[in-house]
Amino acid sequence: MPTLAIIGGSGFTKLEALEIVRREVVHTPYGEPSAPLTHGMFGGKKVVFLPRHGTAHTIPPHKVNYRANIWALKHIGVKRIVGVAAVGGIGPEMAPGVIAIPNQIIDYTYGRDHTYFENDLSHVTHIDFTEPYSESLRQRLLAAAESSNVTIVSHGVYGATQGPRLETAMEINRLEREGCSLVGMTGMPETALARELDLDYACCAVVANWAAGRGDGPITMMEIEKHIGIGMSRVVCLIAALVSSSDKDG
């Protein structure tokens, strides 16, 4: 079974160059995942791919069944997950088109099913979330970027907002004051749920636009789609290098 999964975000609903072997429908105690799991060969290694927003990109960030997605991947034997996400850039180094591998996250979401530990418990469980991302997987991504000559920002603080609307300029000012250098809508509870199930999880963030108030004029879908296209093509190179460097079980 594949031990590495890629969760694709906006602009990344399919993994180019993936030789599809089969699609698997997984039913979970938490409902249905965003789409069937796509098993395939990528760079000669087994991987599984799941589009976070559904195959046709119809599920908004606040309606994604994060619990079902992560549970399904754990159920089939996945051990490591790379979550690809389109984000807005807040910090000066996070210009559109940049790829960042964040090392911290701040959760501003609400009303989402954010934990597996809530019903029929034999004891209360608290996960250590001091370092939200798997450092070992982050380092593998950084090494993959170096080997594939993909320029990245090796750190960042991801501010996870509710969506589906974009933020106001003053909200972005607040996020910046609180330490965020990136803003997106899908980072939580995905990251925490992976930790609850003891999965290694890292985020590969593609900056699609300057966040509100950071660029010149309003944010347009034309701008977002342009930079997503550029960034995602480089993400494919990065993932290819990551897969090729995987050990025998990955």
Q: pLDDT tens, 99-110?
A: 999 999 999 999
210 marked ligand binding residue: yes
Do the domain assignments include residue 121? no
pTM: 0.92
Strands, E assignment, 116-213:
152-153, 157-160, 182-184, 200-210
Q: Identity (one letter) of the amino acid at 64?
A: V
Residues 188 and 98: their CA atoms lie apart, in Å, by 21
114 marked ligand binding residue: no
The pLDDT confidence band at residue 203, using thresholds 50, 70 and 90, is very high
Do the domain assignments include residue 201? yes
Phi-psi region at 88: left, alpha or beta (left = phi > 0; alpha = psi -120 to 50): beta
Query: Is the dihedral angle over the CA atoms 106, 109, 110, 112 positive or is it negative?
Result: negative
pLDDT for residue 249: 45
Q: Which of 14-28, 131-145, 219-233, 236-250 has the lowest mean pLDDT?
A: 236-250
221 marked ligand binding residue: no
35 marked ligand binding residue: no
Show the domain range for 214: 4-113+129-244
* CATH code of the domain covering residue 95: 3.40.50.1580
pLDDT for residue 210: 95
211 marked ligand binding residue: yes
Q: In the chain, how many domains are there?
A: 1
Do the domain assignments include residue 124? no
pLDDT for residue 16: 66
